[in-house]
A = this chain, B = another copy of it.
Amino acid sequence: MPSEPQSRYDQKLVHVLKTSAAVFADKGYHSTSMRDISRATKMSLSGLYYYFKSKEELLFLIQDYCFSTVIEDCRRLLEGVDDPVRRLKLLIENHLNYFVNNMNEMKVLSHEANSISRDRFRKINTKKRQYVDLVMNLLGEIARENRADGVDIRVATFSLFGMMNWIYNWYDPRKDVDVAGLSKNITRLFLSGFLGERGLKAGRLETGRESHLDRDVSIWQQ
């Protein structure tokens, strides 16, 4: 799904998606008119409909494209890594990194999840559930391994997602700590909270050396 041929058509489509995402992120989906998007993309109103057949499909394309990439990147990143704690750390790192580098799209994904039709909602929710289950199972493993009981796994899972997805409400790359720092903070905050005192033993929480952050995981950029 990511980084495909890139025909003339594809390039322009991506440009439209990225521009629209910025407008949606700024004004919200419902109060953005097709005329707003026409203005932002410098295309005629009717010209837009060559690339999608309804405003709602446009929203879907943004969400699906964006979320598919997060999952795909995550899958690739976790490949071959066995230790559940390390897997979780990589997942958090990937999630936050993608979020910060594609704030508009991720805001639209997080904020306008319910603004699409039932059918398309289901389609995205299937992927979303897979992603959530991945985290939930990871936490289950970790809890079992470390006998970290007493914490509801569902609460822990969505607390983690809350921490990560809420950032579009406050995070400002210009005045806040950078992605690496953000990632380190949230990982430490959550993991040592989830594991209790055990989490700090054996230096397991140091976010080992080279991060993958230099790798550009964005499909939008370029």
Contact = CB atoms under 8 A, between A and B. Distances in A.
A194 interface: yes
Most buried by B among A171, A181, A192: A192
Copies of this chain present: 2
Nearest to A151: B185
Contact of A189 (B166, B167, B169, B194): B194
A61 B154 CA distance: 33
Contacts of A151: 185, 188-189
B189 A193 contact: yes
In the complex, the 9 A-B pairs of residues with the closest C-beta atoms, listed nearest first: A193-B193, A162-B166, A30-B30, A197-B197, A162-B162, A159-B163, A155-B185, A162-B163, A189-B193
Interface in A162-178: 162-167, 169-171, 176-177
Nearest to A110: B169
Contacts of A186: 155, 159
